[in-house]
Structure 1
Amino acid sequence: MKKILSIAAILAATSLTVPAFAQNSKVEKVGQDIKKGAKKAGNKTAEIASKGKSRVTDTEHKDKVGPNGENIFIDNHSRYYWVDDKGKRHYVTEGQLKDKPKD
């Protein structure tokens, strides 16, 4: 997925024709904007994929949430974890879990 986003970013950057008299700062800003957008899209894709996999393969804890209110999953080794906005798992102990607030 990162290769696809990288290729798309490169194609988008090369498709923007910049006149020879354009200032370097404009070109650098466009490049930075593309890089920033590609990184943001990649992080969101990783988050969605990781949370989707967790919902399918692991069980979600019904009564508890993480230290900052995150959804908690239980893997097949009975370990508790939550998924951050970059798709990374953060394992927590049972003592760090909090009761889920009532709606």
Structure 2
Amino acid sequence: MAKITYIEHSGTKHEVDVDEGMTVMEGARDNNIPGIEADCGGACACSTCHVYVDEKWVDRLPAPDPMEEDMLDFAWQPDPKRSRLTCQIKVTEDLDGLVVQMPEKQI
């Protein structure tokens, strides 16, 4: 299990425990975290689970694959270094303490 902090665009923080093997998106969905819509259900077919990964965590995550990189082109104000799709980040014990911030909106 990993403790993940989701920060809404407004600054409201939600710290939740997410089981290993789930995705960061599923952790948000299952804990009713606002700001992650996940319209495609985790199929990497949209960008509505886009977040900005805290700078301390960027290099600790596996690199995005080409499909995720393509979908990030459709995200709201993507950051070339910090933007990720939460449906593509699998939770492991190594992600304990991960912090992600939602953008102003999802598209």
TM over 0.5: no
Which has the bigger relative contact order, CA under 8 A and spacing at least 6? Answer: 2
Normalising by structure 1, what TM-score? 0.22
- Length-normalised TM-score, structure 2: 0.22
